[in-house]
Structure 1
Amino acid sequence: MALSFPGDCRYADSHEYVRPEGERLRLGLSAFAIDQLGDIVFVELPEVGATLTQGASFGSVESVKAVEDLLAPVTGVVLARNEAVLSSPEELQNDPYGEGWLLLLQPADPSQLEGLMDAAVYGAKVQGA
């Protein structure tokens, strides 16, 4: 599978991505992480209104291979969560950067984005370049 890393996203070492949408951020799990996990069977996400802290766990993704913690790439408040992914976890595999998003956040400190990798750096890291 050819993995894609959209240029409008920023990426964390733990393989979450954020895509700026105005003053908000759409958060998801990169195609690389999803590829590594295999068939995803369960997703756990925080409730709307929860506060995420950069670097802290905010939920988990369970596949037939493993259970992985989701780590917040930035600090912020959950504005929305993707209920479709909770009821149909395979959406993550089908479209990780589109319909397979996880959360919509109001970031506490937008400058935290500068500490995340751009698509070129992240792509090179995960593909061993």
Structure 2
Amino acid sequence: MRKAAKLIAAASTVAMLLGSMAMVPSTAVAADADTGKKLAENRKKGNCFACHSYEGAHLPGNIGPPLVAMKSRFPDKDRVREQIANPTKFNPNSMMPPFGKHNILTEEEIDHITEWVYTL
């Protein structure tokens, strides 16, 4: 009888812990294009306009391709994200820094920039 009581007590404790975890708000932040634009134009983070031209870029570079019609050029948003995170995956000789692979940007920052790029 004691084992059954201990088992029931343990089960109720586990159930209570699992129930309380459901009440914890998620720390994940939805990707935001405005935040992405700020990161992309930050010289210590994305610095995208150093190499790419896009509408509204201040003194854009011309080393990389222009960031225009991104949805039609890249119908798969994950492909754009991977290009930002690790362009050497697609072109080992790419001049674009692998922002994710080298931890220049966090995963969350890459998500924000991907959202912004996809608005262009």
Instruction: Give me the TM-score of the superposition, normalised by structure 1.
Output: 0.28
Greater C-alpha radius of gyration? 2
Instruction: Give me the TM-score of the superposition, normalised by structure 2.
Output: 0.29
Higher strand share: 1
